[in-house]
Structure 1
Amino acid sequence: MNAMTRRIVIGTAAVSMALTMAACGKAGSSSSDKSNDKSIGLLLPENATTRYEQFDKPLIEKKISELCSDCTVSYDNAAGDPQKQAQQVNTMITKGVKVLIVDPEDSVGIKSSIQAAVNKGIKVVAYDRLAEGPVSAYVSYDNEKIGEEQGQALLNAMGADAKPTSKIVMIDGDPADPNAAMFKAGAHKILDGKVNIAYEQSGLWKDTTANQKMTAAITQLGAKNIKGVYSANDGMAGGIATALKGAGINPPLTGQDAELPGVQRILAGTQSATIYKPYKPEADATAEIAVNLLQGKSITSIATTTSKSASGQTVPSLLIGATAVTKANLKDTVVKDGLYPTSQICTAQFAAACKAAGIE
């Protein structure tokens, strides 16, 4: 083979290799784009409240898989850190997700991150808490109504002590969470004028903070003068119950989320009520909206009402109902729906209480 022939052969091979590599690169890029076209991001706010990892995440992922078998879900949890969640939104944008489900840790602070996602063509669904910014849909519960149910449950548990001179303590949720304001407003609608709200503070959705606030309230008001305690959720109610026990008192105490420890406290008589919010309808509807948005379909049959954000944006919404749960209806709500296995509720410590409540 002469020099000229060698050059032609080598040149032809090089061109062939280059074309092959380009074709491979293009195929890989197309595959990636195709994957991204069916990619949904899921960002949840914290893991101190057990519901998010135990219920919301797996339920949403399962429903998306049922509705769209070749869709992928990218998940992250902010662990209570708004800045971390903002970074997670940026990561989802970089990944190329087409729809982003976000339960904001800070509904106002996340506004610019949501705008950045929308600017990239991403549809955003606000889950459980209404985020500021141009979201396409919002799925949650009727949160002011939940606050009303909490307030009424407390009055019911107080019985004859539910009178304007009776002092109660209110431990509200995190002000950065718009739901907390709605729970608080609903509770005040029921409690104002009926009892004396002698001490009210935010527990920031943390059991430790709620414990500190309750301890301060006991010091300020006197243990025997406290006739009832409103706790915005079960997580904080756990810290509050510890403070009450330490002070040697056991006034009526509310909660929310039907967390397992809250359910067990209700059986044991150290918590009066919780709010049972069935997670599956909320998760299923959110997944359906996300898939519809991904596929360019209408969401009006799911988001049948509207909500207005603090900045005045009207958002297509679905608001789901909830139920106040006490020892009297625990068996017919949480237990009947199989939220937790009976064996998980009725451990040795709570076996007698379960039997007394007809749960075996």
Structure 2
Amino acid sequence: MRRAVIGSLAVTMIVSAAACSDTGDTGVSRKDKSIGLLLPDNATKRYEKFDRPLIGGKITSLCPDCKIAYDNADGDPARQAQQVRDMIARGVKVLILSPQDAVGIKASVQEAVDKGVKVVAYDRFAQGPVSAYISYDNEKVGELQGQALLDAMGDKATPSANVVMINGDDADPNAAQFKAGAHKALDGKVKIAYEESGKWKDTVANQKVTEAIGRLGAKNIDGVYSANDGMAGGIATALKGAGINVPLTGQDADLAGIQRILAGRQSSTVYKAFKPEADAAAEIAVKLLNDEDIKDIADTVATSGSGATVPAKLLPAVSVTRDNVKDTVVKDAVYLVMQICTASYAAACAAAGIN
């Protein structure tokens, strides 16, 4: 599902939202009703599995004669900058952009706006003159993660307890907000004995935690903060290899993360319902395409890293533990029970009342 055909730095796929002629009754070219979508990477599974189809589907429902241009940077900021130029050349009028490097993309955003393209920052806050920003309250997400770790540690959550922190990629402004929120919850209540960036990669996170184990000693680690589920997978492998089973956080409610929670190898994740975020992005993009007011959707404001105040939609998130998997991702049909409860996890599902 996550496979993409990538040709050089060109746009990988142009998906027609409806089969129709180049011009409609109004004489407006289909090129004038084109919306671009650029996502940052394939390592974060949610983008290809959920965000891409949800945004495309919502745009199609709102604007059947719109054309959707799509590409994924695959973790490469230079590739994404080229993709922005490709979108401009293809005549998109609105660009939904989730930046791989929020600071580095600033010049590309400016270039797009100078060419008459309206840019919507999606999930990650791109710097530059964006028209709107849609995401979650990221500092609150970090607080949820930190508090979930403390809750899982229970009586062991003392000022002398050693916690390892593996944060996201420094190029992603969300990572700094998650980190700030987590520190807000954890500082003074536990000891942050080791803290590094895992760069949103399971391999890097595995290496960092392996280093932390070597430095602190396996018996001296009481909990691990991981900024997302992808990295938590690499961390869980490192912990298991060292014979450690301590509370471990995550984020994004990845399928593998949910399974680890049920199996007792991860204590929590954060569920950010994908559809409300995707719907808001699509709705704002279509309104901007039609020169309509977006205040009914972007009902607050947010300040970017460059100091710009931008209309924003910030959604709430939910902490997920073994106790509420059934009432969150299962209830919302993010995954089918048969997807979660494979043979390896059947007993864990039964114990959690998931069947």
Partner Cα separation in structure 2 for residue 237 and residue 219 of structure 1: 18
Question: Which SS does the other structure have where 1:328 is aligned?
Answer: helix
Partner Cα separation in structure 1 for residue 66 and residue 327 of structure 2: 36
Q: 1:66 is matched with which residue?
A: 61
Q: 1:303 is matched with which residue?
A: 298
Q: 2:32 is matched with which residue?
A: 37
Q: Which runs of no fewer than 5 residues in structure 1 stay unpaired? A: 1-27
Partner Cα separation in structure 1 for residue 22 and residue 86 of structure 2: 19
1:259-284 per-position Cα deviation (integer Å, ceiling 9, x unaligned)? 00000000000000000000000000
Partner Cα separation in structure 2 for residue 293 and residue 314 of structure 1: 18
Letter of the structure 2 residue corresponding to residue 243 of structure 1: A
Q: 2:246 is matched with which residue?
A: 251
Partner Cα separation in structure 1 for residue 22 and residue 67 of structure 2: 17
Of the candidates 110, 120, 123, which is equivalent to residue 125 of structure 1?
A: 120
Alignment of 1:57-206 (within 5 A): 57-206=52-201
Partner Cα separation in structure 2 for residue 145 and residue 280 of structure 1: 19
Paired positions, count = 333
Q: 2:276 is matched with which residue?
A: 281
User: Is it true that 1:219 corresponds to 2:219 in the alignment?
Assistant: no
**What is the TM-score normalised by the length of structure 2?**
0.93
Question: Which SS does the other structure have where 2:96 is aligned?
Answer: strand
Cα pair distance change 1:65/1:248, threshold 3 Å: same
Of the candidates 332, 335, 339, which is equivalent to residue 344 of structure 1?
A: 339
1:173-195 per-position Cα deviation (integer Å, ceiling 9, x unaligned)? 00000000000000000100000
Q: 1:22 is matched with which residue?
A: none
Of the candidates 266, 278, 281, which is equivalent to residue 261 of structure 2?
A: 266
Partner Cα separation in structure 2 for residue 91 and residue 302 of structure 1: 29
- The percentage of counterpart residues that share the same residue type is 69
Partner Cα separation in structure 2 for residue 159 and residue 186 of structure 1: 20
**What is the TM-score normalised by the length of structure 1?**
0.91
Partner Cα separation in structure 2 for residue 30 and residue 244 of structure 1: 59
The offset of 1:291, in angstroms, is: 0.2
* 2:22–2:30 contact (8 Å) kept in structure 1: no
Q: 2:10 is matched with which residue?
A: none
Q: 2:352 is matched with which residue?
A: 357
Further displaced range: 30-39 or 330-339: 30-39
Q: 1:49 is matched with which residue?
A: 44
Question: Which SS does the other structure have where 1:359 is aligned?
Answer: coil
Of the candidates 312, 329, 332, which is equivalent to residue 334 of structure 1?
A: 329
Partner Cα separation in structure 2 for residue 178 and residue 120 of structure 1: 26
Partner Cα separation in structure 1 for residue 325 and residue 216 of structure 2: 32
Further displaced range: 175-184 or 30-39: 30-39
* 2:55–2:278 contact (8 Å) kept in structure 1: yes
The offset of 1:33, in angstroms, is: 6.6
Letter of the structure 2 residue corresponding to residue 60 of structure 1: I
Cα pair distance change 1:29/1:229, threshold 3 Å: closer
Question: Which SS does the other structure have where 2:252 is aligned?
Answer: coil
Question: Which SS does the other structure have where 1:258 is aligned?
Answer: coil
1:149-185 per-position Cα deviation (integer Å, ceiling 9, x unaligned)? 0000000000010000000100000000000000000
Partner Cα separation in structure 2 for residue 104 and residue 37 of structure 1: 24
Partner Cα separation in structure 1 for residue 22 and residue 255 of structure 2: 47
The offset of 1:30, in angstroms, is: 6.8
Question: Which SS does the other structure have where 1:69 is aligned?
Answer: coil
Partner Cα separation in structure 1 for residue 52 and residue 325 of structure 2: 25
Cα pair distance change 1:34/1:228, threshold 3 Å: same
Identify, as 1 or 2, the structure richer in helix: 1
Question: Which SS does the other structure have where 1:139 is aligned?
Answer: strand
Question: Which SS does the other structure have where 1:200 is aligned?
Answer: strand
Of the candidates 303, 312, 316, which is equivalent to residue 307 of structure 2?
A: 312
Letter of the structure 1 residue corresponding to residue 142 of structure 2: G
1:310-336 per-position Cα deviation (integer Å, ceiling 9, x unaligned)? 111000000000000000111111111
Moved over 2 A (4+): 28-33
Partner Cα separation in structure 2 for residue 50 and residue 340 of structure 1: 13
Cα pair distance change 1:346/1:30, threshold 3 Å: closer
1:286-319 per-position Cα deviation (integer Å, ceiling 9, x unaligned)? 0000000000110000000000011110000000
* 2:249–2:269 contact (8 Å) kept in structure 1: yes
Partner Cα separation in structure 2 for residue 124 and residue 192 of structure 1: 37
Partner Cα separation in structure 2 for residue 293 and residue 211 of structure 1: 42
Question: Which SS does the other structure have where 2:222 is aligned?
Answer: strand
